């Protein structure tokens, strides 16, 4: 009777004639179909097959009221389906949450719906983070957590529980940020009201992650990148770290998927995969292709065959899906970090990781007097505040050293 179809999702009113009620009538339901899956939602109406056949044209008061109620149920479900379709994250669990069905309108269901959305989009890293959040939340509060249970007190107790499990401040910060995103969506969907939203000023404030002092000085970088023990593996991963450092601190995900088409006018131009789907404004990062970078490409890279789609480095094929990409990048980072740890121990450096390259790029420029706006643009940050916060811990180190100079009388 009522039908709607868009973006591979269909909504229609149907008479469920599979089994009659005790009254001899059949329930009228709203059927939603997506990816060959279907779910039925009750309208509260029951009709005979004859009444259903005559419903559209009937002018009887009884059938007119039934038609109005069915149309109302159809419109509500259609509206929620349209909203999810426009966001590009339709899932049956999420639809149930939005419709406020008591059996599924839980924090657990909302997190599961988010993981399904991320899995469909191939966002492997974020998918794993939300999957870990679900496990952590259920360890604390079980598998059926109503949104109403998530209060300031609940969040504080949750934090103490996770701390007792030896989870780091960084992990807690990430978990709470994801929980906040889930609660924000619940608020937008009308499941909770603003007054019951537990995050924010004078409510629950997400703890700051521990600052990691990962930047190296120029002298330390020289010791790292000139070290060799004669092993090809050592020199490969040493050079990959150096390339990352020289290429504006590019992360390994972006670096492993650079192509020769990214080289424009003597610069490597790329967009961070991390922000490609989350930022309103796509920012192109430009890094000068130095002789040192060319040397690394010549030694470890694929030959430039004139095809702009050819990957610069040999680790990936470019045909990996999101989850295969995540596995590949994690594997390369693990191997690189193992080699970096070996080099750091050999030359007397503090612990070094692949992420140290990004921090080192930023702080070497900062300590050399480079304008912070240039550093921010080079890192691909959306605003200066992010860059200032990024550099804050290293600036504190500098202030502490300078303070000690004030009383260095000898």
pLDDT digits (tens, 9 = 90+) for 19-41: 888 888 999 999 999 988 999 98
Does pLDDT of 10 surpass 70?
yes
Does pLDDT of 111 surpass 80?
yes
**How many angstroms separate the most distant Cα atoms in the chain?**
103
Burial class (CB in 10 A: 0-12, 13-18, 19+), 31: middle
Q: Which of 403, 402, 404, 378 is nearest to 391 (CA)?
A: 378
Summarised one tens digit per residue, pLDDT across range 63-98 is 888 888 899 889 889 988 888 888 777 888 778 767
pLDDT at residue 105, as a whole number: 66
- Domain formed by 218-405, architecture: Orthogonal Bundle (1.10)
Decide: 162 and 136 in contact? Cβ < 8 Å: yes
Average pLDDT rounded to a whole number, residues 45-68: 90
Does pLDDT of 102 surpass 50?
no
pLDDT at residue 6, as a whole number: 84
Decide: 156 and 191 in contact? Cβ < 8 Å: no
pLDDT at residue 141, as a whole number: 94
- At 390, the pLDDT band (50, 70, 90 cuts) reads low
Does pLDDT of 122 surpass 90?
no
Summarised one tens digit per residue, pLDDT across range 281-297 is 678 999 999 999 999 99
Q: Which residue has the higher pLDDT, 104 or 113?
A: 113
pLDDT at residue 152, as a whole number: 95
pLDDT at residue 103, as a whole number: 40
pLDDT at residue 281, as a whole number: 66
Average pLDDT, the chain: 88
pLDDT at residue 214, as a whole number: 73
Query: For residues 304 and 311, what is the distance between their CA atoms, to the nearest angstrom?
Result: 9
Does pLDDT of 210 surpass 60?
no
Average pLDDT rounded to a whole number, residues 375-379: 88
Residues of the chain with pLDDT > 70: what percent? Answer: 93
Average pLDDT rounded to a whole number, residues 103-129: 83
Average pLDDT rounded to a whole number, residues 218-236: 96
Does pLDDT of 393 surpass 70?
no
Bridge partners, residue 288, by sequence: 267
pLDDT at residue 116, as a whole number: 85
Query: For residues 15 and 32, what is the distance between their CA atoms, to the nearest angstrom?
Result: 13
Query: For residues 328 and 333, what is the distance between their CA atoms, to the nearest angstrom?
Result: 9
Q: Which of 368, 395, 365 is nearest to 377 (CA)?
A: 365
State the pTM of this model. 0.66
Decide: 388 and 375 in contact? Cβ < 8 Å: no
Summarised one tens digit per residue, pLDDT across range 239-260 is 999 999 999 999 999 999 999 9
Average pLDDT rounded to a whole number, residues 321-333: 94
Distances from the Cα of 403 to the Cα of 306, 395, 398, 406, 407, angstroms: 55, 12, 9, 5, 8
Q: Which residue has the higher pLDDT, 11 or 36?
A: 11
Bridge partners, residue 15, by sequence: 28
């Amino acid at each position: 009777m009522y039908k709607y179809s868009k973006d591979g999702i269909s909504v229609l009113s149907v008479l469920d004639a599979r089994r009659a009620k005790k009254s001899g009538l059949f329930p009228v339901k709203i059927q939603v179909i997506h990816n060959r899956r279907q779910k039925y939602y009750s309208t509260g109406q029951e009709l005979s097959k004859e009444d259903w056949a005559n419903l559209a044209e009937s002018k009887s008061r009884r059938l007119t009221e039934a038609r109005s109620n069915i149309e109302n149920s159809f419109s509500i479900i259609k509206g929620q389906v349209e909203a999810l379709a426009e966001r590009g994250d339709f899932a049956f669990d999420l639809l149930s949450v939005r419709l406020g069905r008591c059996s599924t309108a839980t924090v657990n269901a909302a997190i599961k719906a988010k993981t399904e959305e991320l899995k469909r989009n191939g966002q492997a890293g974020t998918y794993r983070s939300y999957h870990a959040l679900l496990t952590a939340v259920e360890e604390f509060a079980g598998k059926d957590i109503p949104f109403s249970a998530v209060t300031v007190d609940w969040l504080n107790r949750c934090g103490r529980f996770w701390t007792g499990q030896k989870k780091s401040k960084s992990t807690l910060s990430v978990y709470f940020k994801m929980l906040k995103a889930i609660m924000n969506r619940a608020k937008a969907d009308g499941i909770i009201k603003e007054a019951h939203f537990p995050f924010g000023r004078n409510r629950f404030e997400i703890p700051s992650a521990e600052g990691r002092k990962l930047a190296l000085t120029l002298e330390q970088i020289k010791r790292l990148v000139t070290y060799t023990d004669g092993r090809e593996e050592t020199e490969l991963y040493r050079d990959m770290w150096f390339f990352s450092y020289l290429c504006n601190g590019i992360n390994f995900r972006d670096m492993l998927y650079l192509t020769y088409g990214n080289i424009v006018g003597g610069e490597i131009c790329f967009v961070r995969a991390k922000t490609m789907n989350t930022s309103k404004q796509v920012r192109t990062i430009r890094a000068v292709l130095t002789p040192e970078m060319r040397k690394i490409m010549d030694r470890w890279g694929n030959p430039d065959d004139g095809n702009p789609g050819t990957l610069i480095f040999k680790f990936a094929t470019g045909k990996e899906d999101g989850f295969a990409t995540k596995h590949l990048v994690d594997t390369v980072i693990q191997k690189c970090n193992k080699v970096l740890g070996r080099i750091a121990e050999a030359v007397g450096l503090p612990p070094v990781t692949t992420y140290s390259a990004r921090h080192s790029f930023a702080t070497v420029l900062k300590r050399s007097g480079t304008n912070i706006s240039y550093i921010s643009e080079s890192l691909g940050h959306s605003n200066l505040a992010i860059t200032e916060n990024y550099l804050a811990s290293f600036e504190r180190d500098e202030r502490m050293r300078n303070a000690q100079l004030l009383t260095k009388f000898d």
